[in-house]
Amino acid sequence: MNNDNKLHHIQSEEKVAALELEHRDLDEVIKNLESQGNFDQLKLSRLKKRKLMLKDQISGLRDNMLPDIIA
């Protein structure tokens, strides 16, 4: 792995870590919002959509970080 690839891999790992943190934070916000009796359904829907988008981004980055294996 050359230096450019190493740098890209490190940057991808950092990006994944940041996205995972945001994903966990959103999970807590969603749980807290749902635990309240009277909450904004639209806001909850938007938070859940954002959480799913983050999950997709994390999965995509992880897939790109894995080397292609020729079977």
The per-residue pLDDT for 50 is: 98
Residue 68 resides in a domain: no
Q: Report the pLDDT averaged over residues 45-60.
A: 97
DSSP 3-state of 45? helix
Q: Name the band, by pLDDT with cuts 50, 70 and 90, for residue 1.
A: low
For 2-50, the pLDDT digits (tens) are 787 788 888 999 999 999 999 999 999 999 999 987 889 999 999 999 9
Total domains present in the chain: 1
Alpha-carbon distance of 51 to 53, in angstroms, equals: 5
Which tokens go with 54?
A: 């983050």
The per-residue pLDDT for 37 is: 79
Residue 13 resides in a domain: yes
Phi, psi of 69 (to 5 degrees): -110, 125
Residue 53 resides in a domain: yes
Q: Count of H helices and E strands in the chain?
A: 2, 0
Q: Name the band, by pLDDT with cuts 50, 70 and 90, for residue 71.
A: low
